[in-house]
Amino acid sequence: MKKIFRILILPAFALLTVTGCKKSFEDLTKNNNVPSVVPASLLFNGILNKMADLPQSSNEIYSQYYLYNYDYYGNNRYDGFANGGDNYYNTLKNVVVMEQRAAATGGAAINPYEALGKFFRAYFFSKMSLEEGDIPMKQALQGIDNLTPAYDSQKDVMVQSLAWLEDANADLTKLIADPNSGGTGVGAALSNDIYFGNDLAKWQKTVNSFHIRLLLALSKKTADIDVKAQFAAIVGNPAKYPIMTSSDDNLQYKFVAPSNYYPQNPDNFGQNGSRQNSSATYIGLLTKFKDPRVFVTAEPSRYLVDTLKQSPTSFDSFVGADPGLDLGVMYNNATLQRYSFINRKHFYSTYIGEPSIQIGYPELMFNIAEGINRGWATGNAETYYINGIQASYQYYGIPTVAGSSIFSAYFYRPGATKGPADQSSYDVFPVTVNWTTYYAQPTVKYADGATGLTQILQQKYLALFRHSGLESYFTYRRTGVPTFTTGPGTGNSSRIPTRFEYPQSERTVNATNYKAALTSQFGGSDDINGIMWLLK
């Protein structure tokens, strides 16, 4: 009897064991201490951080603002274009999930996350296209349902991006007029906004200001896209299309100590402070215009000041290096203090530096001035032009009132031992500024026609120093202003590349569509000198 009992109980135990282990791999590996669903607000915050193009990157080299003079830290070549442009598809997937989570947690069909999702699509898709040309768009973001999306033409990407911006503006208009229309619950309320503190009115201004930027990027394609009509509609109807009205509206990334330092700060001054010097492309314009912004963003050549005894506040004492210069020659000249370094007081003396503007009021003013100069809308281009220059002045704390004013210039003292954070490390010089005199110069005072267009683009370049990522490079590529120089130091003796190659991943996981895109655009070659549609 005892033996029979054992025989009966063993199968029952085995059955219980098998039944108790019927869990999926996902169930067994799930960590109950980690949230399995990410809220829309957290995804939103991650997307905002991904938007930021911050200083101390190759974008500034490509825009010829400042240069490396020592190849251990970097160089001034455009070889990076062959490494591929930006890939924002993972970020765009998060945009889709953000919208889904907002809808699942109380957001109505039109809610803040959905409205800004359209802006993010326009921002990231258009930026990748501006860098590379045709890109996957309509079939992208489908996950395992389509791992090899076809490429859309650059024209289609731009038309769709402009449509997204139009829709985003309309949705934000509705939400601002009736906040309750966005639904109920957490999916209906914007949260975790590092730029505007969840202010939808500020976001609407950004959407429309970016819309104008994108229209200017299409200045060669007014016969293919209704660029002029869209531009005139936005500029002529601020009630329907609010735009930035002052620098208080800037979409700008602010650095916070101790968690998020400005890339150049007292801690890395010893490593970087003398390894970078200003570019002649940037400094040359400032000195040509006798522009006081040079006293804030750069320092005089110590050779000219200490050896040749020139005044440190003379415009002749500021010298930028030619970006095309051989790096060994540039290093030797920099060692001899023949160039202007980036201003140590402005860029190295604190941990929070200056806010990094992504889309800003000064740029908007120049963009509107350019559109009016091109005849896209009625208005006074000079007024916008002046507003742009003055906004840039004010950003640097330079007075713009009529008559003479004085502000202080700070230059790092040779031999200073207490570091860039200590006030005693700087010599202070009073600088007299007279806005009226500055603007009266023939090189600065706005003129109509082609001369005026060049002036607008030159001043826009100065205003975007260290801001807005590749925007200055894109403007140069589109207009040829200002003049970028080439040579051994840039990696090409005759020209600046016109596009980034596609990311390496496209060559391996989407090879068929990648090759077809190259054939239709660039004769089959992923060429950094290929001419994309919007440049033809």
3-state DSSP call for residue 326?
coil
Give residue for tokens 């990334």: 253
Q: Is 64 left (phi over 0), alpha (psi -120 to 50) or beta?
A: left
Structure token digits, residue 248? 């208080």
Give residue for tokens 């490079």: 473
Q: What are phi and psi of 409, to 5 degrees?
A: -105, 135
Structure token digits, residue 417? 């031992």
Where do the H-state alpha helices sit in 273-360? 280-288, 294-297, 302, 327-335, 344-348
> Rg of the Cα trace of the chain?
27
**Strands in 190-291 per DSSP E:** 251-253, 276-278
> What is the CB neighbour count within 10 angstroms for residue 89?
18
Q: β-pairing, 276-278 with 135-136?
A: unpaired
Where do the H-state alpha helices sit in 307-420? 327-335, 344-348, 361-373, 381-395
> What is the CB neighbour count within 10 angstroms for residue 269?
19
What stretch of H or E contains 411?
strand 404-412
Nearest residue to 371 via CA among 362, 381, 361, 363: 381
Report the interhelical angle of 449-463 vs 381-395 (nearest 10°).
Answer: 20
CA 182 remoteness from chain centre: 30
* Burial class of residue 428 in the structure, from the number of CB atoms within 10 Å of its CB (0-12 exposed, 13-18 middle, 19+ buried): exposed
Compute the distance between CA of residue 70 and CA of residue 526 in angstroms, rounded to an integer.
30
Structure token digits, residue 274? 């003398």
Q: Residues for the chain: how many in total?
A: 536
Compute the distance between CA of residue 428 and CA of residue 420 in angstroms, rounded to an integer.
14
Compute the distance between CA of residue 481 and CA of residue 451 in angstroms, rounded to an integer.
11
**Neighbouring C-alpha atoms within 13 Å toward the C-beta of 345:** 22
pLDDT string in tens for the chain (536-residue length): 344 434 444 444 444 444 445 556 555 556 555 556 789 999 999 999 999 999 989 999 999 999 999 888 789 999 999 999 999 999 999 999 999 999 999 999 999 999 999 999 999 999 999 999 999 999 999 988 999 999 999 999 999 999 999 999 999 999 999 999 999 999 999 999 999 999 999 999 999 999 999 999 999 999 999 999 999 999 999 999 999 999 999 999 999 999 899 999 999 887 676 788 899 999 999 999 999 999 999 999 999 999 999 999 999 999 999 999 999 999 999 999 999 999 999 999 999 999 999 999 999 999 999 999 999 999 999 999 999 999 999 999 999 998 899 999 999 998 898 989 999 999 999 999 999 999 999 999 999 999 999 999 999 999 999 999 999 999 999 999 999 999 999 987 789 999 999 999 999 999 999 999 999 999 999 999 999 999 99
